[in-house]
Structure 1
Amino acid sequence: MPETVYLDHAATTPMVPAAIEAMNRHLVEVGNPSSLHASGRRARRVVEESRETIARVVGCRPGEVVFTSGGTEADNLAVKGVFWSRRDADPRRVRVLASAVEHHAVLDPLHWLATHEGAEVELLPVDSDGVVDLEALRASVERDPDSVALVSMMWANNEVGTLQPVSQVAEICAPHAIPVHTDAVQALGAVPVDFAASGVDALTLTGHKVGGPYGVGALIVRRELSVTALLHGGGQERDIRSGTIDTPAIAGLAAAVELAVKGQPEHASRVSALRDRLVAGVREAVPDAVLTGHPDGRLPGNAHFSFPGCEGDSLLMLLDARGIECSTGSACSAGVPQASHVLLAMGRSDAAARSSLRFSLGHTSTEADVDALVAAIAPCVERARAARL
């Protein structure tokens, strides 16, 4: 088997040594953080110190960090929990506004709320670069602000890497006291993320995108914002998220988040240079390849291309046979034979959407990884095109 060239860091990135060490250290310790005896108190101390670490580097208060099982749960908790709470307080609040390019962890709960809870979901248009139309948002809000339960707007798109004007979204909503949630799963550690400065009311993050463990994340949520719980049981995490607290995973999460945020400027500089090398090399090897997403306002490690005349799935497997791993888009929808909703919302044709691949770089990426892709892409594209004839 050829040596693996991993270019799918947006799906998940390898754990960093600091997170592994923190997690391993606490895996051998006994103690439920909800217990009152000494072992429980020791575990609780680890959890609360981890909470303080995350709060310090993300720009929030420790009490605003609610630990979850990851990004999907945190998104569901924000979207459903805030909707239910706001509607209960005022039955007129049934509208939910979101961009048309949100992750399925936001879109699918919205669809569920529309089907089962009477929510009126409005998906806001984006331009050809994937940036949300702020005037469409403003018009929708001002049409009837009292009927809006919440707005959800991702910080950075997981497929094409485009950054959204989250602070401006918050500014539009603030005069009407409409809460804003942002899925910052892809943004944290890649671009500057400051919860308090952004003006949003809830923010999703997860461990495995920043070098932490799988199965742990957090919803940062302002203390003033009421959130109805999805899970009921022991009343952990402000009674918003019941369940036995995973001390080792939370310790690993905190170590990874702290390292990612503190190293963000250097990381962004390094991977953006690699990304530029990749983009230039792919364009030279395949001149008609089309770079998708905002040319400047994008994640530093994201390079998303459409390859005319190819099926993305076929091209992915040809590259995989050479040991080069990438993605056709969101890993959560991998294997589903349908065009990306993100690319369709950006105005791409079905054929163009199906011909796309995402290459994403991370903390272990090297020039050799990029050069391996550049060397392989032209022959793989040629074979993928021939397969369609």
Structure 2
Amino acid sequence: MIHPGLTDGPIYLDYNATTPVDPRVVDAMLPHLITGFGNPSSSYSYGTDAKEGLATARTQVATLIGARPDEIVFTGSGSEANLLALRGVVLASPQPRRHVITQATEHPAVLETCRALDRLHGVRVTVLPVDSEGLLDPADLAASLDEDTALVSVAAANNETGTLQPITELAELAHRAGAVFHTDAAQAAGKIPLAIDELGVDLLTVVGHKMYAPKGIAALYVRDGVQLEPVVYGGGQERGLRSGTENVALAVALGVAAQLATDDLASGCGSRLADLRDLLYQRLRDALPGRVHLNGAERARLPNTLNVSIEQALSHELLTATSGLAASTGSACHSGTHTPSPVLTAMGLDRERALAAVRISLGRWTTPGDIETAVAELIKAAAAQ
């Protein structure tokens, strides 16, 4: 199957930023925009059809991570799901506990929520360092936990480097201290197997547009018994945690995307992407000996993600010269001045190497031909710098 949105334009190698919506997902959600428009709270057929679509979607998302359907709460974005998890735990904490722990390479949705909890609610926030591969040392977490710790939030996989954290071990440490554990699995869900019971987490974020569903839909897994303050008050939808009439079409889209991801994982899609990723890395190293440096963990990494720095090449200039590729840099541009990625600097990379970083992320429609073209364009652009 060829995606209709990728037939005319640059080769898309930025799946960690967002994914094309799978046509099968579009086909599933369209009826709920036209004939299945009912309110799920209504008792007549329009409403009951919508309610059934919502229930099926909840089951599909739950199946992807080995949860129960009643533990899935739909939200409007991953950022909202993270807000519900972090703010929800702290404000509902009965002790009350007022200490939250996270890591330096977390997504801004988590880091900014932590800062807001500090500013608005006097919550003490501990931001743990990572090593040169982006890994959090469990010993650092153990040393930071105390009787006031309400929550630990550590992402399962980093969006820039793909580094995978030892979530099971970290969650166990948090639980020993009586704290709740949340993981933002936006980048991990659908790419690697995730089983709630094996991970041991209490809260887990899944994001639609990272797994071939539209933007504007996500879900938070909430383990039975975990108390949360609602993020939206009102009519009691989504277990009362996120009131408001449900967006059934987008929930159905996320459900079908989760089902497709479950099928992909069973068929070994991760191995195909890892092979393509490694082929790209090896081709670059062979063509540019001594100039290509891997950023992140070599083994504990998402199968689709490659973050490299190419010496003597600024990433924004490199990608500008490769007009046939759509990929990401590790820098941000403010008024014409480029600043290095906070993730890479937290890993100890110097400014020069961080500004040379390129993130290439593969996905469902990436082909060997795409990789060969990407290699040729990157080599040509790097040689010219």
TM-score of the aligned structures, taking structure 2 as reference length: 0.93
Matched, 1:48 2:50: no
Shift of 1:286: 2.3
Alignment partner for residue 95 of structure 1, among 99, 104, 107?
Answer: 99
Shift of 1:329: 4.1
Residue 60 of structure 1 corresponds to which residue in structure 2? 67
Matched, 1:136 2:137: no
Residue 115 of structure 2 corresponds to which residue in structure 1? 111
- Distance, in Å, in 1 between the alignment partners of 2:141 and 2:9 is 47
Unaligned runs of 5+ in 2: 1-6
Alignment partner for residue 21 of structure 2, among 15, 18, 22?
Answer: 15
**Conserved 8 A contact 1:74-1:219:** yes
What are the within-5 Å matches in structure 2 for residues 192-231 of structure 1?
A: 192-231=193-232
Residues 380 and 239 of structure 1: CA distance in aligned 2, closer, same or farther (over 3 Å): same
| Identity percentage of aligned residues | 39
- Distance, in Å, in 1 between the alignment partners of 2:136 and 2:263 is 29
Shift of 1:261: 2.1
- Distance, in Å, in 2 between the alignment partners of 1:76 and 1:330 is 25
Residues 365 and 276 of structure 1: CA distance in aligned 2, closer, same or farther (over 3 Å): same
Residue 371 of structure 1 corresponds to which residue in structure 2? 372
Deviations 1:354-384 (A, max 9, x none): 111100000000011111111111221234x
Q: Secondary structure at the match of 2:210?
A: coil
Amino acid at match of 1:343: L
Q: Secondary structure at the match of 1:280?
A: helix
Deviations 1:260-286 (A, max 9, x none): 122125210110110011101111222
What are the within-5 Å matches in structure 2 for residues 165-314 of structure 1?
A: 165-265=166-266, 266-287=268-289, 288-314=291-317
**Conserved 8 A contact 2:77-2:217:** yes
Amino acid at match of 2:29: M
- Distance, in Å, in 2 between the alignment partners of 1:220 and 1:381 is 44
- Distance, in Å, in 1 between the alignment partners of 2:134 and 2:337 is 22
Deviations 1:89-135 (A, max 9, x none): 123x1111111111111111111112222111111111111110110
* Deviation beyond 6 Å, 4+ runs, structure 1: none
Q: Secondary structure at the match of 1:263?
A: helix
Shift of 1:80: 1.2
**Conserved 8 A contact 2:331-2:354:** no
- Distance, in Å, in 1 between the alignment partners of 2:343 and 2:114 is 16
Shift of 1:199: 0.5
Q: Secondary structure at the match of 2:272?
A: helix
Residue 352 of structure 1 corresponds to which residue in structure 2? 353
**Conserved 8 A contact 2:64-2:261:** no
**Conserved 8 A contact 1:188-1:261:** no
- Distance, in Å, in 2 between the alignment partners of 1:220 and 1:3 is 37
Shift of 1:336: 8.6
TM-score of the aligned structures, taking structure 1 as reference length: 0.92
- Between 173-182 and 270-279, report the one with greater CA deviation: 173-182
**Conserved 8 A contact 2:204-2:220:** yes
- Distance, in Å, in 2 between the alignment partners of 1:59 and 1:169 is 19
Q: Kindly report the root-mean-square deviation, in angstroms, between the aligned alpha carbons of the 2 structures.
A: 2.0
Q: Secondary structure at the match of 1:66?
A: strand
Residues 202 and 50 of structure 1: CA distance in aligned 2, closer, same or farther (over 3 Å): same
- Distance, in Å, in 2 between the alignment partners of 1:183 and 1:297 is 17
- Distance, in Å, in 1 between the alignment partners of 2:246 and 2:151 is 28
Q: Secondary structure at the match of 1:310?
A: coil
Residue 163 of structure 2 corresponds to which residue in structure 1? 162
- Distance, in Å, in 2 between the alignment partners of 1:151 and 1:13 is 28
**Conserved 8 A contact 1:285-1:374:** no
**Conserved 8 A contact 2:104-2:128:** yes
Unaligned runs of 5+ in 1: none
**Conserved 8 A contact 2:83-2:110:** yes
Q: Secondary structure at the match of 1:67?
A: strand
Q: Secondary structure at the match of 1:224?
A: coil
**Conserved 8 A contact 1:285-1:377:** no
Amino acid at match of 2:161: V
Residue 70 of structure 1 corresponds to which residue in structure 2? 77
**Conserved 8 A contact 2:331-2:339:** no
